[in-house]
Amino acid sequence: MATEVLVNGWLERARKCVSPHFNQRPDSEVSLLVIHNISLPAGCFGLPHIDGLFQGCLDIDADESFAELAGLQVSAHFLIRRDGEVVQYVSCDDRAWHAGVSTFNGRSGCNDFAIGIEMEGTDTSGYTDEQYQQLTLLTLALMAQYPMITLANIVGHCDIAPGRKTDPGVSFDWLRYQAAVSAARG
């Protein structure tokens, strides 16, 4: 697999779509990778609304379901679209606002030490081969740059916010993803 390159927390090949919704990490620790899913409107793919949400300029009149998102300040580090395009919103060295109220291994505030990757999809829609391929490549790059991220420190949003979040959902193939990462690492 090709080697991915991060410079100052930015993946060189990703499309940059810079979000204002971030701040500095309380320290430089990056030790957790959180997998999410997103679609706007729910179940609709390939539209520009995710970029708008993360950039703080979502047209809330574009869909009636967007009214509940008015004024929301949220971001993730990455989005992997259905066609495999990788979009980056926040430097991995900074704290994106993706996890909300969350706990991992007894530590609260996962945004402080986590990188968030959104998969364009829903809990039940399944994910594309291109998404798994790009997620694997991105994961390998992140593990190389941030060695505290191990397979044991890769979780779903549902794992750090149980009862509040369900993503990436039952359709996410954890075994496929973990096997691909393990095989690529040798």
Pairing of strands 86-88, 78-80: antiparallel
Residues 6 or more apart whose Cβ sits within 8 Å of residue 63: 40, 41, 49
Residue 108, judged by CB atoms within 10 A of its CB (0-12, 13-18, 19+), counts as: exposed
Structure tokens at 22: 């971030």
Q: Which of 64, 85, 118, 120 is catalytic?
A: 118
Distance CA 41, CA 38 (A): 9
SS3 letters across 103-126: EECCEECHHHCEEEEEEECCCCCC
Radius of gyration of the chain (CA): 15
Distance CA 45, CA 34 (A): 21
Tell me, yes or no, if 118 is annotated catalytic.
yes
| Active site residues per annotation | 118
